[in-house]
Structure 1
Amino acid sequence: MPTSTPMSGASLAEPRSVLVSGASFAGLATAFWLNRLGYRVTVVEVAPSLRRGGTPVDIQGETIAILTSMDLMEAVRERTLPPRSFAFKDAKNTTLGEMAHHPDDEAGPRYEIHRDDLLEVLSGAIGGDVELLFNCSIVAIEERPEGVSATFSDGSRHEFALIFGCDGNRSNTRRLVFGDGEQFTHFMGGYFYLKVVPDTGLLPPNSSEVFAVPGRMAMLNGYDDRTDIGFGFRTAGEIEYDHRNKDQQRRLIEEHFSGLEWKVPDMLAHIGDDNNFYFDRISQIRMPTWSQGRITLVGDAGYCVSPFAGLGGSMAIIGAGRLADALARHPDNYAAAFRAYEEGLRPFVEQVQERAAIDSVQMLFPGDEAEMAERDRKLAFGDIGV
């Protein structure tokens, strides 16, 4: 795994010196490709180490092709999880509809890998070839004709030819370059909680179960050694809460789900009082453009598709691969490369976002009785589009 090392600044940008903000899937994959293209790459990450935890990642289609071209697909296959079933349940735990996930289906091979394992694969691939600085973030960006200047949180200032924002749906890079990030946030009418705990025995390994009543959803993912506990609730509009206040977020879940049937009481008992969980509004990032001058965005920072699309990690890897291809085709013209990257990827992003905003959310947790009836009708006919 790469380690933090002191960075040597320069008064003027070296033509091949670039900065990546964020060390998750988008940042690590982008750093890999930039290094392969011959750039001198620095990655800054505000966290003290790689951000671990979260649900597994689906690897299929174009993502397989990109990981294969990175010589990483074999490492992914070695860590692939067993196929997992998916069932919709009612309050008495009766199965309303189900589907089996197979490695190969009509869409081609499909793999699932724990998020931490994929992080290890990607971080190992950049090794010591990329400068990786933890506990570090960008606080100011100034672009000039000959390059772009970044001031770091330690007060130091460095020059780069290009900057790549790969820092998630609350992107600091997006805020610094494009302005208030809220203008690009498309709220999807709800909030989602996820906690990974040791095996709870609430469901068999290699299976997922979902229970819903109008406006509320409880989900379990079972693996050999752990269980994902998920809750989601719908709202008419955004609610006031502090995204840093974990106690407040736990209370929101308890208030919304206390008194529900199925396995919900046992799930709530596993919430505990630690802060190792994810809670956020269900939203997408929709921007008129992902680039400005010498800065461009990759992954959730520019086009978050929401947790319910099931393609967040894959979209980051696809985005990095498409960007690398554009830079390779336009090696001496970053503006043309950024334009080709966006024109090629945007139609796919918008298609996935539209599907997630309508089909996935309504299927997983219907907002009212009408949506619930439509979901049940689809289940009866085996039309499970998640």
Structure 2
Amino acid sequence: MRVLVSGASVAGPVLAYWLTRYGFDVTVVERAPTLRKTGGHAVDLFRPALAITERMGVLPRVQELATGTTRMTVLREGARRPVGIDLTKIFSAASDRHVEIMRDDLSEIYYDATREDVEYLFGDSIAAIGPEGEVEFDGGPPRRFDLVVGADGLHSNVRRLVFGPESRYSAFIGAYLAVLTMPGDAADGPARGEYASHLGAGRTAGVYRARSTGDARAVFLFRSERELEYHYRDVPRQKELLREAFQGMHPDVDGWLGELDRTPAFYFDSITQLRMDTWSSGRVTLVGDAAYCPGPAVGGSTSLAVLGAYVLAGELAEAGGDHTRAFAAYEREMAEPVRGSRAFALGAARTLIPRSRLGVTGLLAGGRLVSVLPAAAGRALGLLNSSGIRLHDSMTVKHYAGPVYGKHGG
């Protein structure tokens, strides 16, 4: 059974790994000409995603390339002294198992685990999808597949082709995220393992050093009551909006913004949720951010994407390749994790980017409290509400017997 997956970031390679393990023939098409090697921004893997990664045999490599960020300093806008926070205790309160890693490092690890068994088509994308799996590409010749999966992110091309424009399903939750790469020596202040940040009402910015590449990442989050006008490929306009949002915050932040015209890698996007009634239509389905992005930077979308890819592959195997049964089971299994992640993201956005000075004070007080508590006490606080801070650990990883459907059977 031939499956075409669009997207080679996280969900795509994880899905490809498990599908090939169950005997499916998998092709992954990726718009970028090569696997991205800029390092990306840091993402979090919580217990369910780490369990799946461990089953894939690549957990040691993930742990080896972890960012190693354990400390955080926060300077409140207008204050003179920063507040120190122990991030290991924050993460311990949130999850029994947690790894922070650069997104592109993670993508490369998953790619390396699949490249011997999966056909990768870089520098191409899907132009049209027919009802019987006929696929036309922007560059290569047309081909036919039994199933097509969109694992191509928040601005999914597959979703647009099959389900219509993004505007039908996107819900802006009032904030924006930007990340830029800069030389390590341009990031005055943070030592390795430290995230140095500035926090004000409606905006926060910070910088950390990427252990695997030696350079640094500056991260910006800011609130906006309305959606800003720009195209998601219009980088000059995005940089202009970022400068406006952080004007006058602090000389450190001005210095980071000064790298905008020299940065080799820049990311800017709204913090938006995808809300769809169904992720499947005929022979096509969606996975990860393409289907149910809870909100970049605030909803655990990377862990959710890993879980979703694993579940989709497992349900296809258990259904013997019957996509109608498998897609329905996949949506049932993922419904609760998706609902929980959406609710978590809304709360996290409100908390991490306070609207007022009072909210800033409350956030810093909470961070200090967990930081000074013994680790066991911090975990106990988290366990008081498993649908809140412990949301990701409450997600279960189903065991799939597979392979049920294979190249040589079924």
1:98 aligns to what? 85
Give per-residue Cα distances to partners, 1:333-366, cap 9 Å, x unaligned.
Answer: 21111111111112112111211112x2122221
Q: 1:114 to 1:236 in 2, by over 3 A?
A: closer
Alignment partner for residue 249 of structure 2, among 250, 257, 260? Answer: 260
Alignment partner for residue 349 of structure 1, among 322, 338, 345? Answer: 338
Alignment partner for residue 78 of structure 1, among 56, 59, 64? Answer: 64
Q: TM-score, normalised by structure 2?
A: 0.83
How far apart are 1:196 and its partner, in Å?
1.9
Distance in 2, matches of 1:304 and 1:213, equals 27
- Which residue type is aligned with residue 267 of structure 1? W
1:22 aligns to what? 7
2:161 aligns to what? 176
How far apart are 1:138 and its partner, in Å?
0.8
Contact 2:35 2:108 in 1 (8 A): no
Q: Which of the two has greater strand per residue?
A: 1
Alignment of 1:110-259 (within 5 A): 110-143=98-131, 147-154=132-139, 156-199=141-184, 200-224=187-211, 225-259=214-248
Contact 1:28 1:126 in 2 (8 A): yes
Q: 1:332 to 1:82 in 2, by over 3 A?
A: closer
Q: 1:82 to 1:214 in 2, by over 3 A?
A: closer
Q: 1:374 to 1:75 in 2, by over 3 A?
A: closer
Distance in 2, matches of 1:167 and 1:362, equals 27
Aligned residues: CA RMSD: 2.4
Contact 1:165 1:174 in 2 (8 A): yes
Contact 2:193 2:208 in 1 (8 A): yes
Distance in 2, matches of 1:191 and 1:104, equals 23
Q: 1:114 to 1:233 in 2, by over 3 A?
A: closer
Contact 1:194 1:277 in 2 (8 A): yes
How far apart are 1:302 and its partner, in Å?
0.3
Contact 2:203 2:222 in 1 (8 A): yes
Q: State which drifts further: 289-298 or 230-239.
A: 230-239
1:12 aligns to what? none
Distance in 1, matches of 2:357 and 2:204, equals 14
1:49 aligns to what? 34
How far apart are 1:90 and its partner, in Å?
1.4
Give per-residue Cα distances to partners, 1:80-116, cap 9 Å, x unaligned.
Answer: 3435223332134523462332698353232222323
How far apart are 1:209 and its partner, in Å?
3.0
Residue aligned with 1:126, SS: coil
- Which residue type is aligned with residue 282 of structure 1? I
Residue aligned with 2:68, SS: coil
Q: Indicate the percent of aligned positions where both proteins have the same amino acid.
A: 34
2:394 aligns to what? none
Q: 1:43 to 1:275 in 2, by over 3 A?
A: same
Q: TM-score, normalised by structure 1?
A: 0.87
How far apart are 1:120 and its partner, in Å?
2.1
- Which residue type is aligned with residue 220 of structure 1? V
Give per-residue Cα distances to partners, 1:198-239, cap 9 Å, x unaligned.
Answer: 212321211123322222221222344222111222111111
Give per-residue Cα distances to partners, 1:266-321, cap 9 Å, x unaligned.
Answer: 22222234462001111111111111111111111001122222623222211111
Alignment of 1:284-295 (within 5 A): 284-295=273-284
1:338 aligns with 2:323: no
State the number of aligned residues.
Answer: 367
How far apart are 1:136 and its partner, in Å?
0.9
- Which residue type is aligned with residue 110 of structure 1? H
Name structure 1 gaps, 5 residues minimum. 1-15
Alignment partner for residue 318 of structure 2, among 303, 310, 329? Answer: 329
Q: 1:206 to 1:381 in 2, by over 3 A?
A: closer
Residue aligned with 1:270, SS: coil
- Which residue type is aligned with residue 86 of structure 1? M
Distance in 2, matches of 1:361 and 1:281, equals 12
Give per-residue Cα distances to partners, 1:52-77, cap 9 Å, x unaligned.
Answer: 43222322311121112212222223
2:50 aligns to what? 64
Contact 2:182 2:264 in 1 (8 A): no
Residue aligned with 1:88, SS: strand
Contact 1:93 1:262 in 2 (8 A): no
Q: Which has the higher contact order (CA 8 A, sep 6+)?
A: 2
Give per-residue Cα distances to partners, 1:2-61, cap 9 Å, x unaligned.
Answer: xxxxxxxxxxxxxx0111011111111111111111111111111111234322232231
